[in-house]
Amino acid sequence: MNMNELNEPTASGSTRKIGPVILDLNNISLSFGGVKALTDISFNVRQHEIRAIIGPNGAGKSSMLNVINGVYRPQQGEIVLRGEHRKNMDCYSAAKAGIARTFQNIALFKGMTVLDNIMTGRNLKMKSNFLMQALYWGPARREEMAHREKAEEIIDFLEIQAIRKTPVGRLPYGLQKRVELGRALAAEPDILLLDEPMAGMNVEEKQDMCRFILDVNDQFGTTIVLIEHDMGVVMDISDRVVVLDYGKKIGDGTPDEVRSNQNVINAYLGVAH
């Protein structure tokens, strides 16, 4: 099937259009001393798709996201973002290029409120400098208000109005994960990298998170790269799935293709998740 022409009606009635490839990973290899975290991995991500990365513990999934947003620099391979070839990314360029991310272990300021944590996601969008902000000088003040408005929009979208002034450290785990999604959304990313957004959640929290991910993809047109261990979720919401095992790619395709791939069944799906 030509994915450029793939139109899928969604629950909200809109039509999802999967676009051309915007991110291409070519022959990526990454090692830490003697440990080969990734070996010759190639796959691509199309605009507006939900692309899952799955595989057993230690397969290299988080390392892959870290390569995409410039936390790790691969020894080999290249990253092609919107047609621009690079040997590696750095975090600042990735953020500037519209890539945002959440982490496997929640990375929020626990003592700060939900609203303030979400505001930190807007740092890159702020034009006025520190001195202007400190003096609360006219333009800086207007800018601050616009950023607050955006943060409040995200809070409404994620249905967390009731906890907007609560310090994040006091929230249950599931809500902290939602706030972290909010912080990433505050950057208004084109590509959102989510590292196990549903890990440790109960069924209801997972359902909520699934709905938010689908809504972000649908309403904002955000491309999503998602690591997840819950196969029900992965098979339900992904357009395509890449499977890693011991740092190597062992499968790549639609959920149905991956589900019936014997290598994938042997390495991962054969066991309960």
Ligand X SMILES: Nc1ncnc2c1ncn2[C@@H]1O[C@H](COP(=O)(O)OP(=O)(O)OP(=O)(O)O)[C@@H](O)[C@H]1O
Give strand pairing partners of 232.
none
User: Phi and psi dihedrals of 28, rounded to 5?
Assistant: -80, 125
Joined together, the tokens standing for residue 215 give: 């809504």
- Closest CB 52 distance from ligand X, rounded Å: 13
DSSP H/E element including 151: helix 138-157
Chain positions 13 to 42 lying near ligand X, rule: CB under 6 A, are 32, 35, 37
130 binds ligand X per the rule CB under 6 A = no
Q: How many residues does the chain have?
A: 273
- Closest CB 244 distance from Mg ion, rounded Å: 10
269 binds ligand X per the rule CB under 6 A = no
102 binds ligand X per the rule CB under 6 A = no
- Closest CB 57 distance from Mg ion, rounded Å: 8
Alpha-carbon torsion 86, 75, 228, 104, what sign? negative
60 binds ligand X per the rule CB under 6 A = yes
Number of residues that bind ligand X (CB under 6 A): 12
CB atoms within 10 A of CB 272: 5
Q: From Mg ion, ligand X, none, which one binds at residue 42 (CB under 5 to 8 Å depending on kind)? A: none
Give which of 221, 243, 173 is closest to 201, Cα–Cα. Answer: 173
- Closest CB 198 distance from ligand X, rounded Å: 13
Residue 75: HSE in the Cβ half-sphere, 13 Å Cα cutoff: 12
Q: From Mg ion, ligand X, none, which one binds at residue 63 (CB under 5 to 8 Å depending on kind)? A: ligand X
Near Mg ion by CB under 5 A: residue from 37, 60, 62, 198: 62
Gap between the Cα atoms of 52 and 72, Å rounded? 20
Binding-site ranges for ligand X (CB under 6 A): 32, 35, 37, 55, 57-63, 104
